[in-house]
Amino acid sequence: MSDPASQTIPEGTLADLGEFGLIQALIRRLPQGDQVLLGPGDDAALVSAPGGAVVLTTDVLVSGVHFRTDWVTPYDIGRRAAAASLADIAAMGGRTSAIVVALTAPPSLEVAWALRMADGLSDEASEVGASVVGGDIASSTQLAITVTALGDLEGREPVTRSGACAGDVAAVCGRLGWAEAGLAVLSRGFRSPRALVAAYRRPEPPYAAGPAAALAGATAMCDVSDGLLADFGLLASASGVGIDLDSSTLSIGEPLRAVAAAYGSDPLEWVLTGGHDHALAATFPAGTSLPEGFIAVGTVSSGEGVRVDGLLREGSGGHAHF
Amino acid sequence: MSDPASQTIPEGTLADLGEFGLIQALIRRLPQGDQVLLGPGDDAALVSAPGGAVVLTTDVLVSGVHFRTDWVTPYDIGRRAAAASLADIAAMGGRTSAIVVALTAPPSLEVAWALRMADGLSDEASEVGASVVGGDIASSTQLAITVTALGDLEGREPVTRSGACAGDVAAVCGRLGWAEAGLAVLSRGFRSPRALVAAYRRPEPPYAAGPAAALAGATAMCDVSDGLLADFGLLASASGVGIDLDSSTLSIGEPLRAVAAAYGSDPLEWVLTGGHDHALAATFPAGTSLPEGFIAVGTVSSGEGVRVDGLLREGSGGHAHF
């Protein structure tokens, strides 16, 4: 497998290169890890599954809904598309070993766009040692990317959403609200603070914290894709418990404060309801020494719903499709 | 898990029911097999992988490209979408254990359409004992369905496209040309012969023949999704061999002859170039007792390309995206 950076990117559109030419160009750019026993190019890929069970998740990103091609580079769109699925595997306590991708795109799409998007997918996957092992391409009026991730639990039990118990500590790892604030910045036509815009364009989920949380005995976990309130709400509902958050423990980054002040917004709302940072939210038995990066933000009660400083919060704040 | 047939299908559109309501309605309709250790509803599903390695493939079907909603029922579209991926797993010699699905659809889509499509996915998966273990849904202007299948090889080596050797027997299992002829019928505004239209609407890939071919020692195999010439051509290229087909051995069903006569078409062309029946094409060492359903249709040579009755055939005849 040669270095993508050393390869010429063909000029022209998907219509110019054709389906099979595009597939060949893509395959040449995708390095394959040791866990890949058979990579792209056959009817299916073969991936090692040493743990005896695998975790599987799929996420679709649609142009104009999940991303705008004028706000995010194709490379970062690839990284975001992969991150959404990789974070789901981490949230089960697993490590992603392989992803497959389906791209639907108009024939007028530039080949360079597709190849750079694939580079982003591949590089994000490589953050956890995973490879892009296959895919499919079809013409469509609307650009969309579906990433399916396969992960290994290394023999551990999965950490589901339904295991939280009254008395547990609620904790989070990773940034909250940054992507949402970055989107607010872009929506107003600005490009700075760059840290927020970058957080929106290329989230940095704390992948290693997923297996670490599982090893530390996490009782329940999920990734924060729709916002902390929404995702802790689903976790609380699945576990039949309530969660009481203490807002004073929630880290509000300096760029969030600055932008919120400029826009007259409440930065805590971004932290509570902003999605797409793909932080991890988990619960641990009281007294657990939390894994690196996790911060205690509340407690699990025998009630229901999510309370912030004692007040019950309704609604998700996440993106509602349909 | 209750019987889908006994459940009320909510009236209205996806916009009426909302994303989470739709997901809940879908989950209630999806039975889960024993190999599913954790089904839909968490960040990822957990599926048993006893063989130590898994096969993985993804296929996307786009409305207006791969299907027309006025020609095929949502239930059959679900069956076709699943069949495309299940056939790929069979073509590696594997059995599908689980599928995940991403649906992009306009908010105006009827809820009943989505649920019946999911029923089709689930029923097709159950043909091989597989379950629909998860998915994602997003709004989009164009309806598309991405199915990713996870399969088990039961400890066997995969049957790739690259193992055919000169002297091998080339064989096929399953119908050829029926779906293409059915499409020709529908394209002319007719609905009969019903056998051909049914073959287009709901292919019946010979799933069990995949593992059977692997057990019988198949040297190479692929599913026929783009046409026999195209797919044997890819197999020949991957193996560095040629394939000589004897057209007299290719079964031309009676309905194909009848429709071809009526339309002034050559039925052999449908058999050679028609895709979407998802037959299996394989090569076996000379003298192999072919598994049930396989018919010898030619021989593998040290040359290149695919010849029919001695004449080299160029081009795929399959659907070229872009």
The tens digit of pLDDT for each residue in B31-57 reads 999 999 999 999 999 999 998 999 999
Q: A–B: how many Cβ contacts below 8 A?
A: 248
Q: What is the C-alpha separation between A56 and A3, in angstroms, rounded? A: 29
pLDDT at B148: 98
In the predicted model, residues of chain A with pLDDT beneath 70 are 1-6, 315-322
Among chain A residues, CA nearest to B231 = A43
Quick one: pLDDT at residue A7?
Answer: 72
What one-character-per-residue DSSP string does A68-116 give?
-TTTS-HHHHHHHHHHHHHHHHHHTT-EEEEEEEEEEE-TTSBHHHHHH
What's the number of CA atoms in the CB half-sphere (13 Å) around residue A95? Answer: 19
- Cβ-in-10-Å burial (0-12, 13-18, 19+) of B2 comes to exposed
What confidence score (pLDDT) does residue A9 get?
A: 83
Between residues A144 and B64, the one the model is more confident about: A144
B49/A45 touch (CB, cutoff 8 Å), yes or no: no
What six digits make up the tokens of B141? 């202007």
pLDDT of residue A3: 57
Q: How far apart are CA A134 and CA B55, in angstroms?
A: 11
B67 chain-A contacts, CB cut-off 8 A: none
Burial (CB < 10 A; 0-12, 13-18, 19+), residue A114, is buried
Residue A215, classed as helix, strand or coil, is helix
Overall residue count recorded for chain A in this entry: 322
Is the ipTM beyond the 0.85 threshold? yes
Sign of CA dihedral A250, A253, A254, A259: negative
What 3-state class would DSSP assign to A125? helix
Predicted local confidence at residue A315, as pLDDT: 59
Phi, psi for residue A271 in degrees, rounded to 5: -65, -40
Joined together, the tokens standing for residue B177 give 């040309």
Instruction: Return the SS3 of B317.
Output: coil
Contact B92 A322 (CB under 8 A): no
- How confident is the model at residue B321, as a pLDDT? 64
Question: Whole-prediction pTM value?
Answer: 0.94
Q: Radius of gyration (Cα) for chain B, nearest Å? A: 20
pLDDT (0 to 100) of residue B1: 43
Q: Which of A89, A133, A146, A147 to mutate to test the interface with B (most CBs of B within 10 A)?
A: A146
Question: Among the listed ranges A228-232, B70-74, B310-314, which one has the minimum average pLDDT value?
Answer: B310-314
pLDDT in the model for residue B11: 87
How far A251 CA sits from the closest chain B CA (Å)?
25
pLDDT at A19: 86
Which chain A residues have a beta carbon less than 8 Å from that of B138?
60-62, 65-66, 144, 321
